Amino acid sequence: MTHDLLKNIIDKTDSRVNAIEICDLRDNTYYALIHLTNSGEAFSIDSRPSDAIALALRAKAPIFVSDEVLKKSKQIEITEEGVPADKSKQGKKWKDILEKVKPEDFGKCKM
């Protein structure tokens, strides 16, 4: 897979995936950045969110969504504490599902 190839190249060049950021939402299209370091130099690369997330899972890197994207999303409200809250039926369904997921459940996913 392309994501495995990219991860191997990053590893062989002594680079590191620091984080993935879903950074923008324009015209119903999400945009992402892959934040990397190499030889102490930090840099970011534009990416499709699906590719960035696949890479983050392989690199065990954190995945973030900017507040701006959450605000632009019609399903998400930001509480006074700055915490995103999905008020839709689907959001509540996913909240229930995700609250029951354990870290060991992710080992069952086939990549």
Residues in the chain: 111
Q: Residue 34 gets which letter from DSSP? A: E
pLDDT at 56: 93
Question: Domains of the chain, with CATH numbers?
Answer: 1-70 (3.10.690.10), 74-111 (no CATH)
pLDDT tens per residue across span 40-95: 999 999 999 999 999 999 999 999 998 888 878 766 666 777 766 666 667 677 77
Burial class (CB in 10 A: 0-12, 13-18, 19+), 32: buried
**0.75 exceeded by pTM:** no
> Rounded to an integer, what distance in angstroms lies between the CA atom of residue 83 and that of residue 42?
28
